Every structure is written in C-alpha cells, then in structure tokens.
Structure 1
C-alpha cells in the first residue's frame, strides 16, 4: 500500500518532468518561425537581380506581417566594370583612380544581402549565415555575415545590407541559403552565374 512519502516522491518527480517539458517547449520556435517559410511551386525571378530566383516566399506583404524580408542580389564582374567605366566618364577620373577602382572589383562579382527586420536589434547581420552549394551539393562558399546594424526605414522596420565578394566560377546554377539564427528561418535562392562577356 502506497504511503504518503511515496505519493510525495511521485508527485515531485512528475513536477520535475513537467518543468523540463515546459522549458523545452518554450525553447522551440513558435508561430510562423516554427512552420518555416512557404515555398514557391516554381522558383520566381527576382524583381531586382536578373541572376537570382526566389525559392522561398519573400514578399513585401510578409514583411508587413512579421518583418522578415530577406533579398539576395548578384552583380557580375562585367556589370561592376560597366558601372566603373560609366563613373569614369561622368566624374572625369584620373587613370590611377580608374585603375584602382577596376583592381578592387572581385573577379567573381559580388553578392548583396539586404534584410528588413523589426526593431533596431533585429537587423544584427551576424545572425545570418550564407551557404552556397553547387548542383552536386558541394559547398562552394559558407560565411557568417560581419556584425553590423541597419538604418531606420519607417514603421519600426530597419534595413541592413552587406556586400560579399564572390569567387570566380564557371557559368552554372547554384543554390544559396541564408539562415537567420534569431528567427529560426532559412531563405533559399537559385543563383545562375552568367557567362563572362
């Protein structure tokens, strides 16, 4: 026959187990973050960068709901060189200035990561990890973004941007994932590297 002390030990054990379960449930992401981001049936071309297609739904409407807009852009070496040449004509640079600007262009172009988040602390770029893989699943580039904040852009939304030099590669289709450690969300893209012109 169970005694009072036996009953108390069982009750205490039950309380401890329920506290651990409640703590574990509290540590898990909730709401939209727990479900993950919706994905398109077919990848959608990005409105700004012709080399990028969005796999994960990433619209201005979703930004209004949870402030988690993330955009990937790519500019090829040729695009950057064309821009520097146009600036040279516009600003009448000396040859040394022009040569210095051309030498500073990364041979593989650049990736531009743009995020909109709610609150000034939400834009901490070091929460983002960018991973690029080829069609065989081999990792080409993996980088945690350098720390930095953003600027206010209205309605408690802040924008942060980071340019990342990209390695020179043959024309191919790559998969890019940007993982936000704070939101527990991953934003996926397809990057099509152009042929050198």
Structure 2
C-alpha cells in the first residue's frame, strides 16, 4: 500500500529522513524539523491512515497502551514495504527515522521485524508494552530514546526496559530524560539535533 506523504527531494548521496507523527498529528508535524536538521536530505513524512475519533494514527488500539496486535503486525509489514520503496526511490545510502508517541511505536515495531531498513532510530516517548523477541539485526544500529520523567503514557520502567533491550541486541543506545510529561521539550530537540549531527 502507499501512504499519503509529504516529500522533500534531497541531494544525491544524502540520507533519507523519515518522520512519523504522533496521535492527532499529520505529515507536517516533524517534516520542517527534519529539513532544519538535515538541509540536503531526502525527507518523507507519511500520514497515518487509522482514524481514532478523527485523530490520525498508524495502527489501532483498544485503550491507552492497549494495542490491537494483529493490526499493528499487519500495518508494520505495510510500513516496512513503504519505507523500502522510499529508500529505492531516493537512492539514499543511509536512513534516519524519527517518530513521536504513536509514530515512535510504528517505527520501533518496523525495526523489531525488519532492522535493516532504518540505520538511526529516534524514538520520542515510545511505548512497547510487550517483550520483543531477540533481533540480532539491530546490532550496530544507533538508537536515541527521549521521554519525560513524569510521562503518564510511557512508564519509566517500560522505557528503560526498551532501552535495555536495544542495548542487549548490540545497538548503540542513548536515553534522554526530561523533567516533564508526554510533551516534547526543548532539551529533546537539542538531543535529537546532536544525535543527527554526530
């Protein structure tokens, strides 16, 4: 399947930067940020095609933190196919993925099954409420996880468990906590800028 997406064509040899919005966001939420962080990159920002009372998402859920797992599995396969197509179209040698909340969850879910697609993962306030199976393909991937210490949606122990999981698979993991909740802080944006620049 194909997603409605916003695209910026980059220069030859530059990375592909994919952005995934949070619940209720759209393809504009992080597209401009990606343009600022990587001025010459190819940028693709898909729009979630699941409506939750009018709020756009990338997969269904039955409650806060309770996912429709068959739907997530199916949509993760579809998203992986979409990402692979974008990589082929752009010819980019490297791929960066940034997702917030629901967008972070679909990006993480894709990486858990098809780790070869995205080299650098930026997961803002992710919630993976299950124990993923071992995935040796994550070895050498760079992962930045950002979250609020008082985030009511992403419990600190589950965030730490996700970071530990990526480390155990051999990924290069950075974990950034800010003092707030589920909102995006300026310190997160700075950490993301540093991560992308390094």
Q: What range describes the TM-score normalised by the shorter chain of this pair?
A: under 0.3
From the CA coordinates, give the structure whose radius of gyration is larger. 1
**TM-score (normalizing by structure 2):** 0.25
Structure with higher strand content: 1
**TM-score (normalizing by structure 1):** 0.26
